[in-house]
Amino acid sequence: MKLIKNIIFMFRFSWKISKRAFAGASIRMVLDTAEPFIYIIFPALIIDELTIGREWNTVLFYICLFIGCIALLRGFRALFNVFVNMSVNRSDVKNALFYMRSFLELDYEKQEDEKIRDIQNYVSSKVRANSFILIIFGFLTSFLKLAGFSYIIAMLHPAVLLLLFGLVVIRYFLNKKLQKNDYGFQPVMTQYTRIFDYLFDAMTNFANAKEVRVNKANDILTNKFNLSLSQFSSSYKTFLSKQMKLNIISKTIDFVQMLFSYGYVAWLAVLSRITVGEFSLYINAVYNLSNSFNELAARCVEFKYLSKYIDDYYKYKEITRSLSVENEIYDLPEENAELPMFEFDHVSFTYPNTEKAVLKDISIKIYKGQKLSVVGFNGAGKTTFIKLLCRLYRPTLGMIKYYGVDISVIKREQYLKALAVVFQDYKLFSFSFLDNIVLNQDLDKDKLNRAIRNAGLESKLAALPKGLQTNIYKDFDEEGIEFSGGEGQKLVIARAYYKDADLVILDEPTAALDALAENEIYTKFNDIISDKTAIFISHRLASTRFCDEIAVFQEGRIVEYGSHDVLMERNGVYADMFNKQAQYYNAEEEGVL
């Protein structure tokens, strides 16, 4: 049975996330089960003794026993409260970490898919260890209470028990409809939560502050927020309207149940068939029986919909399953002088959910130690070329090889160690200057100093208040600093140097630098990378003079390939681009611009 299978899965999932949460829930179950019986049995005994027996010693004994049980119960709650809360919080944190890690391990092309991100947010909010633990132990607590209260009411009259069960069964189906409506509304809630989160971040994130103020984007952001809020409110109103109708019916059933219960038990008390204390006992038992059954029914419905959420989780895992990981069976190939280091073999690529090919039949060989410049106008396919090389995407057609081996079957961790990449849209983390360079590698001070020196960051480091431990940004440290675009780019270049990989890829590495800084980076470049293989992507064609070969991209194809001198002699696309920029370069070098 699927429900049983999913419950077993959720038990294992929750147990793996937090065993302590199970212990905390067990303690809470015992206390929650015992508490209502203490509150209805002892008052009934005290009332009967006051109205019938009138023995002060017995009354005092019951009162002391009642107070003692309550004190003991509250003492246990206070004693275990910290443990229970810590267990719950720990479970929440580990649950969040589990989903964050699964998202980090997700293929890049799937991370870009908006629908997959929505499913991930939706599943991570529903398939949670604490949710299951709350349901399973809530079910057990409700079942134990229901059994106890059913026994008490059965002593009054079995028919009363049957009638009450009939009413609460109706409540069960109402709760089922309520849960069904809630389940159906979740995708809408997830979609608009993502929209509101984005708009809120766009409005409040300091990184956006300049763009928003200079371009007066506050109006469009506010309007889009109000429009989204209006659309969400309309859907939410419809959802709440359905819930309200079902809740009204549910409350009406509650009213009928309480009217019958009070009337019947009061009638028995008037006829002296039960004592005043028993009247109190039965009335409270009826009230608690209804609540216990409703809780039990709600938990059953929650089990059903949790099972649906788990089905969604399975679908999510299947959608996001990395097929490449299953194929990664080879270690990184050893260097082979007879083969190119990298080879694009008739590679074509179309982005997911689009029809136009971005790369078309690309074939190129890159040998060890070669310096390749990839040039072309925006949209020519240069950055996509690099994304494929970095295994962020898989080719639609063709194959990319590393020393003759398809890169998709090489173990990812080993393959990525061979690449050091500086993207144009680089990211700095809100960590220290040191951490941003070293990241997850072992610290080598000599290599670190060379990376800082080669990237031109020595003077910047000397001016930092805490040196290498100075935080970038202020998320974790109010004394953190903001880097300019050029400084940030130098920092990620230092990061690439420090990685000391066999292939260095620089995607528009000097886009945020002025001509002097650009010249400084390129002048040092050959010395820095030594005999390593390097690929440049640059819109400034002056950088091509540092490279052995140049690949000219146009509309997703390589239309020209060769050295600077060879391509200039051909007087083709490259020569035209270079000549048009030559005057600009000369002026820049002379300090005119």
Residue 192 to residues 128, 234, 312, 340, 552: CA-CA distances in angstroms? 21, 12, 19, 50, 43
3-state secondary structure of 292: helix
> What sign has the CA pseudo-torsion 79, 81, 82, 88?
positive
Quickly count: other Cβ atoms within 10 Å of residue 132's Cβ: 26
How far apart, in whole angstroms, are the C-alpha atoms of residue 264 and residue 195?
55
Model pLDDT, residue 14:
81
Q: Are strands 503-507 and 533-537 parallel, antiparallel or unpaired?
A: parallel
**Strand blocks (E) in 258-415:** 342-350, 357-366, 371-375, 397-402, 405-406
Q: Are strands 503-507 and 342-350 parallel, antiparallel or unpaired?
A: unpaired
CB 356 within 8 A of CB 350: yes
- The low-confidence residues of the chain, meaning pLDDT below 50, are 587-593
Q: Return the HEC string of 354-382.
A: CCCEEEEEEEEEECCCCEEEEECCCCCCH
Model pLDDT, residue 592:
39
Could you read off the pLDDT of 446-479 as tens digits, one per residue?
999 988 988 888 888 898 888 999 998 888 888 8
Could you read off the pLDDT of 538-590 as tens digits, one per residue?
776 766 777 889 999 999 999 999 999 899 999 999 998 888 876 655 544 44
How far apart, in whole angstroms, are the C-alpha atoms of residue 457 and residue 461?
6
How far apart, in whole angstroms, are the C-alpha atoms of residue 202 and residue 212?
9
Residue 419 to residues 68, 391, 402, 494: CA-CA distances in angstroms? 70, 11, 12, 14
Model pLDDT, residue 341:
94
Q: Is the pTM of this model over 0.85?
A: no
Which tokens sit at 172? Answer: 């069960």
Model pLDDT, residue 120:
76
CB 175 within 8 A of CB 142: no
Phi/psi-derived region of residue 188, left when phi > 0, alpha when psi is between -120 and 50, beta in every other case: alpha
CB 505 within 8 A of CB 535: yes
Least Cα distance to 498 among 531, 466, 528 occurs for 528
